[in-house]
Amino acid sequence: MVSPNPLASLCLSSLLLTLLVYAAAGTSYSSKNATKIGQGYRLVSIEETPDGGLVGILQVKQKTKIYGPDIPLLRLYVKHETENRLRVHITDAQKQRWEVPYNLLPREQPPPVSQSIGKFRKKPITVSEYSGSELLFSYTSDPFSFTVKRKSNGETLFDSSSGDSDPFSSLVFKDQYLEISTKLPKDASLYGLGENTQPHGIKLYPSDPYTLYTTDISAINLNADLYGSHPVYMDLRNAGGKASAHAVLLLNSNGMDVFYTGTSLTYKIIGGVFDFYFFSGPSPLNVVDQYTTLIGRPAPMPYWAFGFHQCRWGYHNLSVVEDVVENYKKAQIPLDVIWNDDDHMDGKKDFTLNPVNYPRPKLLNFLDKIHSIGMKYVVIIDPGIAVNTSYGVYQRGIANDVFIKYDGEPFLAQVWPGAVNFPDFLNPKTVSWWVDEIRRFHELVPVDGLWIDMNEASNFCSGKCKIPKGKCPTGTGPGWICCLDCKNITKTRWDDPPYKINASGIKAPIGFKTIATSAYHYNGVLEYDAHSLYGFSQSIATHKGLQGLQGKRPFILSRSTYVGSGKYAAHWTGDNQGTWENLRYSISTMLNFGIFGVPMVGSDICGFYPQPTEELCNRWIEVGAFYPFSRDHANYYSPRQELYQWQSVAESARNALGIRYKLLPFLYTLNYEAHISGAPIARPLFFSFPTYTECYGLSTQFLLGSSLMISPVLEQGKTQVKALFPPGSWYSLLDWTHTITSKDGIYVTLDAPLHVVNVHLYQNTILPMQQGGMVSKDARMTPFTLIVTFPSGATEGEAKGNLYLDDDELPDMNIGNGYSTYVDLHATVNEGAVKIWSEVQEGKFALDKGWIIDSISVLGLEGSGAVSSLEIDGKPPVGVSNVNVSTSEHEHLNSEGEGEKKTVMVALRGLNIPVGKNFAMTWKMG
C-alpha cells in the first residue's frame, strides 16, 4: 500500500510548489552564490585525553545573526577509534546537545562536555598532526579547519578549510544551523547520500540536490528526500591506475541539505552536532566492512526470503489470495511468500483480522496448507494506532502511556484507519508494549514476517488536529484525504526553523504531512531532532518482538531506514511507477543501499502504479529476479499484474526466476558474507574492478557478489543490449560454452530476445548452484553443480568459491553451532593439470542433510578436451560411481577472443560427492 494515492500526492505537491515558489524565488540549489557566514572559529586550547584522543576548545571569531546566534564555545574531540576509523566530534562546549541516542546505535561515547578543558591555554597558531595507523588528522588553529589524509600516500580525503576564493563558509555552529564543507578533487567519484531517486545514475551528480529527511513522498520524485536518511558517502579515486576508496559518515539525524559541486561538498544541517567518522578503505569492500563494523552488520535473512514474493494492495478476501497461490502453481512460476497489504485488517487497524473477508479459521487452514509445502506469509503493520476506545491495542497503548505527545496529550494524526496516535519507540515501555502486541497477533495469526510501512512517519494531515464529529473515515475506504480539524503549528522555532532545508524538493515545512516537529518523545526528546530515526527505532522494536517468537530468525521489511537499519531489516524502494525510467532508477537505488549496509533490497517489480505494459513487465522480472529482495507489488487502483497475467511475462518469469532458484545457495552464501563483513549482495561493477574507470558511473549493469554480472534490457523495443565487460574472461550462464575475453575491457552487443536476460560469470570463480524448484524448500534439497571458471586458455590459473549452509530458522548465522556447514572451494590449472578440492568446516550438518555434488563443469581450459588420469580422492572413478565426462568447445563472442587457440569446457556428471566431506579431484588435459 504505502503512500496515499501517488497521483494525488503529485497534485498536492504541485499546489504546494506554487504556494512556495515565491518564497524560494532567487534561491538556487547551489552553494556557488551562497553568502559566507562569519569567520569561523579559532582553536584556543588542545590536549590529549586519557584514552589517546585529542580534546580542544574552539571560540567563535565573529558573531553573526543569520540563522540565529552562534554557539560561542565548541568542544572538539578527535580519536582514532580503530586502525581504519577516525572520529571527529564537535559540539557545544558548555551544554549537552542532541545526538543519535547511544542505546539506539551503540558506539563509543566522547568524554562528557563537563570534563572538557577548564582553563583555556592560548596556543600559537600552528599546524599540528595526530597520526593513526591508516589516517592522519591535522588541523589549523585560526581559523580552525582540519584535514584527514591517507597516511600511506599523503592523499587528502577531507579538507574543511575555506579560502577567500571558496564559495563556502568556514565552520558555522548555531543552535539550528550547522555548516561545514570539504574540498574535493575533480576526478573523485562519489556515491551514497540517500535515500533518493537519482536520474543520473549511481554517481553523485554535481548541482543535483541531496536533502536528507525521512519523508513519505513517492519514489517517482527525482532528487528529493525520500523514505530513508543515510548521511554517508563513498569516495573512489584513481591515481595513475591505482584506485583507493574511503567513506565519510556524518552521524546526525537532523534534516540537512548536502551541496555537491564536483569540487566541494557542503553540509547545512538544522540541529545536532558534527559527528564525523572517516573510513580508510582502501577498497570499496574494505569501506563497507569498516562502515558496518560501526553501524551494525546486516541482518541474517531466512533462506525463504531469497525466494520470490507476491503482494498487492487490494487482495480483498482470502479466496483471492488462495487463487493467486494456485495460479502461480499452475503457471509453474516459483513462489515462496504471499503477502497481504492492509486488506486482512479489521478497519485497517494493526494487529487485527477482518472477520468477514479473512475469517480466522479459514486463514489458519490456508496457512497450514502453504506452510506444509514451505511457503510463507507476511503482512503489513503501520505505526499509527487507531484512536478507538473499543480497540485493545489502543487501550493497552494508552494504559502504558506509549504515544508521542503534543501539549501533554498523545499527538493526533490521520492514516488509513482514520485518527491515530503514533507509538514512541524511543520509550522502553513502548518497546515492551509493541513486543507484546506482536506476540498477541502471532497467536492470532502465525505470520512469518512483518512489513512495517508508513514509518517516516507518514500523516495525511499537518499541524495540531482534533477529531470532528461524523465526517472522518474509520478505515472503510482508502481515506488519504485529511478530514481532521487541523491548525498549522508555526509558533515555535522547531516548527519553523530559520534555515529551510529543501524538504520534499520544494522547501516544504518540515512538519508537513508528518508528526509536528515540536511534538516530543520520551524524556522530552523533540520530534525535530528524532524525526528521521522513527522507522529505525520501529525496526529495532519489531526485530525484538519477532525474535522472541519461537526462537526463529526474524524477517522485517521497512520503508523508512537510517544508519544501522540493515542490522534489523530489509528495505524496498517504495512507491515507484510502471515506467522504463523507474526500472532503470531501481538499479541505482538498490546499489546505494548495499553501500548503506542494507543489502537485502529491491523495488516493486513491474511498478507499484499504474499498470505496466506487457513488454515492460517482461523486462522488469528479468531485472527483479536478481534483486536481493524480489517482490511483485501493485497499487489498489492498478489492474492485476501478477506474473501469470500475461503468457509472455510468465515465460520470462519462468526463465529468470528459474535462474534465481538455481542460484539460491549462492545468494544465501552472499547473505552470510554480508552478515559477517557487510559485503553488499548486489554491487556496482567498481567493487570488483576498482581500477577500471570505465565502470565508475555504470548504472545499467550490476554484480551479484564479486563475479556474477547481470546485463538487462532497460529500454522499450530493444532485443539487444550493449554491455560493458571489464578485462578478463566472462562466461554466459545461459550457455556455458559462450565466452567473452578482453585484455582492456570491451563493450559487446548481446542478443536479448524478450524472454532472455544476459548473466555472465567472471574468471577465477567457483559458483555453487542447485537444480531449482517451485519453492525454496524443495530447491534447497536438490543436488549441487559447481561451475569453475579459469581465464580463457590460461596455462596457469586458480579459482575460488564458497558455500554456507545452515538451519535458516535459527536466529544466529554463524559457524560452530552444530547447525551449519561452511565449504571453501578451490581449483587450479597448471600446464594441463587440473585440480579441484574442498575444505569443509563443520561438515556434520551438510552430511545429515544428505547434500551431494552431482556435477562439476570447468570452463576455459586449453587443449583438445581429452581428459586422462581422472582421480577422485586419489582413486580412479571406475567402479566407484557412474561418472560421465564430456567436453565442449568454447565459442568466443568477441573478436578480441583467443584467436585460433582452442578452449574447452569439461563437464563431469554423476559424481555423488557429499558436500559435507572434503574431496579432491584431479585430471590431465590431453
Measured distance CA(128)–CA(454) in Å, rounded = 48
Q: Which of 195, 289, 341, 453 is catalytic?
A: 453
Measured distance CA(161)–CA(317) in Å, rounded = 62
* Sign of the torsion angle spanned by Cα atoms 597, 598, 600, 601: negative
| 3-class state of residue 845 by DSSP | helix
Measured distance CA(102)–CA(221) in Å, rounded = 33
Q: Which of 350, 456, 622, 842 is catalytic?
A: 456
**Residue 372 CB: number of other CB atoms within 10 A?**
8
Contact 770, 662 (CB under 8 A): yes
* Sign of the torsion angle spanned by Cα atoms 379, 383, 384, 390: positive
Contact 199, 585 (CB under 8 A): yes
> Counting Cβ atoms within 10 Å, is residue 444 exposed (0-12), middle (13-18) or buried (19+)?
middle
Task: Give, rounded to a whole angstrom, the gap between the first and last alpha carbons of the chain.
Answer: 61
- Identify whether 456 is a catalytic site residue: yes
Sheet holding 230-239, edge to edge: 41-48, 54-60, 73-82, 85-92, 274-279, 242-250, 230-239, 189-194
Q: Which of 826, 911, 899, 904 is nearest to 870 (CA)?
A: 911
Residue whose C-alpha cell reads 565442449 in the numeric block: 888
DSSP string, 139-167: EEETTEEEEEEETTT--EEEE----TT-S
Task: DSSP letter for 562, please.
Answer: B
Measured distance CA(427)–CA(869) in Å, rounded = 69
Measured distance CA(272)–CA(528) in Å, rounded = 10
Q: What is the 3-state secondary structure (H, E, C) of 569-597?
A: CEEECCCCECCHHHHHHHHHHHHHHHHCC
Contact 384, 421 (CB under 8 A): yes
Q: All 3 cell numbers of residue 237? A: 579515486
Measured distance CA(328)–CA(774) in Å, rounded = 9
Q: Which of 575, 622, 673, 806 is catalytic?
A: 575
- Identify whether 575 is a catalytic site residue: yes
Amino acid at 862: E
Q: Which of 387, 394, 512, 380 is nearest to 456 (CA)?
A: 512
- Contacts of residue 799, defined as CB under 8 A and 6 or more positions apart, other chains included, come to 763, 764, 765, 766, 788, 789, 790, 826, 827, 828
Measured distance CA(707)–CA(621) in Å, rounded = 21
- Identify whether 453 is a catalytic site residue: yes
Measured distance CA(865)–CA(810) in Å, rounded = 45
Helix spans in 373-498 (H): 392-399, 428-444
Q: How many residues does the chain have?
A: 926
Buried-exposed string 603-624: b where 16+ CB fall within 10 A, e elsewhere: bbbbbbbbbbeebbbbbbbbbb
* Residue 471 CB-half CA count within 13 A: 7
Task: DSSP letter for 70, please.
Answer: B
> Counting Cβ atoms within 10 Å, is residue 536 exposed (0-12), middle (13-18) or buried (19+)?
buried
> Counting Cβ atoms within 10 Å, is residue 882 exposed (0-12), middle (13-18) or buried (19+)?
exposed
Q: Peptide bond before 143: cis, by omega within 30 degrees of 0? A: yes
Measured distance CA(752)–CA(57) in Å, rounded = 63
Contact 726, 692 (CB under 8 A): yes
Task: List, by residue number, the catalytic residues.
Answer: 453, 456, 575
